[in-house]
Structures are given as C-alpha cells and as structure tokens.
C-alpha cells in the first residue's frame, strides 16, 4: 500500500485545512436526525396543565411534577430506580382550587427542590416542602395570598430577588405582580407580600419569568399579559432589591 505525504511550501497551509475538513466530516457523520420511540402515557391527575422536572428524591434521576387544574392537585412522579426513563405512580398533593402552573426550587435552604404552585381560584400560592427524612415526598402545603386585590393568579416563579441567598416567590396575578420574600429567620416561609402593577389593566398576567435583563447582576421580572397582548418588564431596584 502506498502512502502519500504533503511536502513543499504549501504543506503548512493545506495541512490545517485538511485537518479541519476531516473534523467537520467526522462531526457530520456523527450528527443524525433524531428519532423517538412511541409515547408512554403515565397517570398524572385531572387535566394536567403544567409540568416541571427536577431530581426530587436525590437519586440523580430527573423526576416529574404536574399541576392538575381539573383535580386541583399536584402530582409527583418519581423516576423508576430500575428502568431508566420510566416513572412510578404519582403521589398527589393538595393543590388548592384549580392548579394550572408550578415551579421547582430550594425554598428552605436544605439543597432539596421544593415546589411552589398556584391555586388560581383562591388567588394564592402554595408551597410544598421536600421531606428531609424521605426525599421525594412532601409536607402538607402552606398557602399564602398571592395578591391583595387581583381576581385570579396564574403564574409563579422562584428566584432570589433580594440577594440574601434565599429563594423568593414571584406570582403573576390578573393586575398585579406579587413578591413574597423568604423569611430571614424561618427559611421556607413567606410572611410578607409586596405587589406591583403588572401593566395589564383589567386583563390577566399569565406567565412569569425571572432573569437579569439589564446586566446589573440582579434578577428582574418579566410578565406576559394575555388580554393586552403585551409583556411587562420590572427592573430590580439598584439600591433596594
């Protein structure tokens, strides 16, 4: 078998180009159009409307939680310990009255993901704290008013909006954004409520997201307003988060 080598003044230019082409072809060969198996259905609850994924029991496998507005509960589906990608029968927790949306995050500082959810008809936000002794199971929920005058609540997010190292609750309500700061003495409780106009008039603020939109290192609030076809951006104060 004959072997050919690059030599001469052009070799130093051609060699990197050919090497790059070889890498590109190798990458293209590995890239494939994705295909998926047939869907597997799991029971969730009545009219599952919202879904999140987090490792609730700390076994390194992502689990699922659903907001079931029809049955007004939260379903937690732990992943099977023996069959990857399979989920166990859900554990159901009280979701108040009409539960459309939920979020996951560590609310009491124990490094386990907890769940916050909206009880739309009662205009409240519920908190399910993850068990310290049996991770992946949750205590009876605690409910807090999500606003002080809106007609309903429909969005929730978890973020540390005041920079104290504790995650807070942010809710989207018909005409208000509600912010409940985490207690400095009893983490995982949210004793006070501050409200801000959502800019939605008499409409409905559906979705809430939190992120630093102006690059100052502080999380800001963005709300999607259904009836006015707008979004509202609430920038975090530079002096008082």
Residue at a domain's end among 118, 145, 172: 145
Regarding whether 173 and 215 lie in a shared domain, the answer is yes
The count of structural domains within the chain is 2
pTM of the model: 0.85
CATH at residue 139: 2.40.128
Mean pLDDT along residues 41-49: 94
Percent of the chain with pLDDT over 70: 84
Top-confidence range, 28-42, 63-77, 196-210 = 63-77
Domain ranges, residue 227: 153-241
In angstroms, rounded to a whole number, what is the distance separating the alpha carbons of residues 11 and 15?
Answer: 6
Asked if 137 and 51 sit in the same domain, the reply is yes
Instruction: Write down the pLDDT at residue 4.
Output: 46
- Among 145, 180, 211, give the residue marking a domain's end: 145
DSSP secondary structure string for all residues of 16-42: HHHHHHHHHHHHHHH------PPP---
In the predicted model, what is the mean pLDDT of residues 165-174?
A: 94
For 183-218, letters b (16+ CB in 10 Å) and e give eeeebbebeebebeebbbeebbbbbbbbeebeeeeb
- Strand (E) positions, 84-123? 91-94, 102-105, 114-119
Whole-number percent of the chain with pLDDT over 90: 70
pLDDT tens-digit readout, 80-101: 999 999 999 999 999 999 999 9
Q: What is the pLDDT of residues 203-229, one digit of tens each?
A: 578 889 999 999 999 999 999 988 888
200 has pLDDT over 70: no
CB atoms inside a 10 Å sphere around CB 59: 13
As a whole number, mean pLDDT of residues 53-68 equals: 98
Residue 113 lies in a domain: yes
Comparing 22-26, 109-113, 227-231, which segment has the lowest mean pLDDT?
22-26
Q: What is the pLDDT of residues 111-163, one digit of tens each?
A: 999 999 999 999 999 999 999 999 999 999 999 999 887 678 889 999 999 99
| Residue 190 sits in the same domain as residue 239 | yes
The reply to whether 203 falls in a domain is yes
Q: Is 17 inside any structural domain? A: no
pLDDT of residue 108: 98
What per-residue confidence (pLDDT) applies to 110?
98
Other beta carbons within 10 Å of 165? 10
46 and 134 in a single domain? The answer is yes
* pLDDT (0 to 100) of residue 22: 58
Residues 124 and 182 in one domain: no
pLDDT recorded at residue 197: 86
Structural domain ending residue among the three candidates 145, 169, 199: 145
Mean pLDDT (the chain) is 88
Task: Grade residue 14 by pLDDT with cuts at 50, 70 and 90.
Answer: very low
Check whether residue 137 and residue 157 sit in a common domain: no
């Amino acid at each position: 078998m004959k072997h050919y080598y690059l030599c001469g003044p052009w070799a130093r230019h051609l060699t990197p180009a050919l090497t790059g082409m070889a890498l590109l072809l190798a990458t293209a060969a590995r890239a494939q159009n994705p295909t998926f198996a047939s869907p597997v259905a799991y029971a969730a609850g009545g009219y599952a409307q919202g879904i999140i994924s987090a490792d609730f029991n700390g076994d390194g496998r992502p689990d699922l939680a659903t907001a079931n507005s029809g049955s007004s509960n939260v379903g937690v589906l732990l992943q099977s310990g023996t069959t990857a990608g399979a989920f166990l029968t859900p554990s159901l927790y009280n979701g108040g009255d009409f539960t459309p949306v939920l979020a996951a995050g560590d609310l009491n500082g124990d490094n386990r993901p907890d769940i916050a959810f909206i009880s739309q008809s009662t205009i409240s936000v519920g908190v399910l704290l993850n068990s310290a002794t049996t991770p992946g199971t949750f205590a009876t929920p605690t409910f807090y008013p999500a606003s002080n005058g809106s007609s309903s609540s429909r969005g929730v997010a978890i973020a540390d909006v005041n920079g104290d190292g504790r995650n807070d609750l942010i809710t989207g309500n018909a005409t208000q954004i509600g912010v409940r700061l985490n207690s400095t003495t009893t983490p995982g409780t949210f004793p006070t409520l501050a409200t801000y106009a959502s800019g939605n008039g008499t409409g409905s603020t559906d979705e809430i997201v939190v992120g630093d939109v102006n690059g100052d290192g502080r999380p800001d609030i963005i709300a999607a307003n259904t009836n006015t076809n707008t979004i509202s951006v609430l920038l975090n104060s530079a002096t008082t988060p």
